[in-house]
Structure 1
Amino acid sequence: MEELKGYVEAVKRNMETMNADDYDGKEDDLRRQQEEIERYERLLKEQSISADAFDRIVSAAVDYAAGDIPFSQLEHVYEEKSI
Structure 2
Amino acid sequence: MSRDCSMTERTTSEVAALLGIKAENLRKWKRRGLLKLAPQGVSGQGRSVECMWSAEAVQEARELLSDPQRDRFRRPEHKRT
Same fold (TM over 0.5): no
**Normalised TM-score (structure 1):** 0.29
Q: As a proportion of its length, which structure holds more helix? A: 1
| Larger CA Rg, structure 1 vs 2 | 2
